[in-house]
């Protein structure tokens, strides 16, 4: 069995951001820093929210930006 050299993996992650580990010619694992992982999760959540917003607009559920900002100002007590 081949040994995994954690120092080499750490160096590769620092250099490339993420490393794919393969076994039997199949990609089995992805190793990345927690910062990179958090960025990917955040990016996924932003895309999900944008797609939901686009769907709401297509369904006529959106409101004009002036009205949205007015509601936010009222909710948080911020006046311009």
Q: What are the tens digits of pLDDT across the range 18-76?
A: 888 888 888 788 999 999 999 999 999 999 999 999 999 999 998 888 998 999 999 99
Q: Do 19 and 51 belong to one domain?
A: no
Q: pLDDT at residue 1 above 80? A: no
Q: Do 41 and 27 belong to one domain?
A: no
**Structure token pair of residue 50:** 């944008």
Question: Do the domain assignments include residue 1?
Answer: no
**Structure token pair of residue 42:** 């955040």
Q: Do 15 and 46 belong to one domain?
A: no
Question: 47 or 9: which carries more pLDDT confidence?
Answer: 47
Residue 6 vs residues 31, 34, 40, 51, 67: alpha-carbon distances, Å: 11, 16, 23, 39, 54
Q: How many domains does the chain have?
A: 2
Q: Do 28 and 40 belong to one domain?
A: no
pLDDT of res. 80: 60
pLDDT of res. 27: 79
Whole domain around residue 50: which residue ranges? 36-76
Q: Do 52 and 65 belong to one domain?
A: yes
pLDDT of res. 78: 79
Q: Do 13 and 40 belong to one domain?
A: no
**Structure token pair of residue 35:** 């910062």
């Amino acid at each position: 069995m081949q040994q995994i050299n954690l120092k080499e993996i750490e160096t590769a992650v620092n250099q490339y951001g993420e490393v794919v580990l393969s076994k039997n010619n199949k990609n089995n694992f992805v190793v990345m820093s927690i910062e990179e992982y958090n960025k990917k999760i955040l990016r996924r959540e932003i895309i999900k929210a944008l797609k939901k917003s686009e769907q709401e607009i297509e369904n006529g559920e959106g409101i004009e930006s002036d009205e949205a900002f007015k509601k936010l100002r009222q909710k948080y007590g911020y006046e311009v």
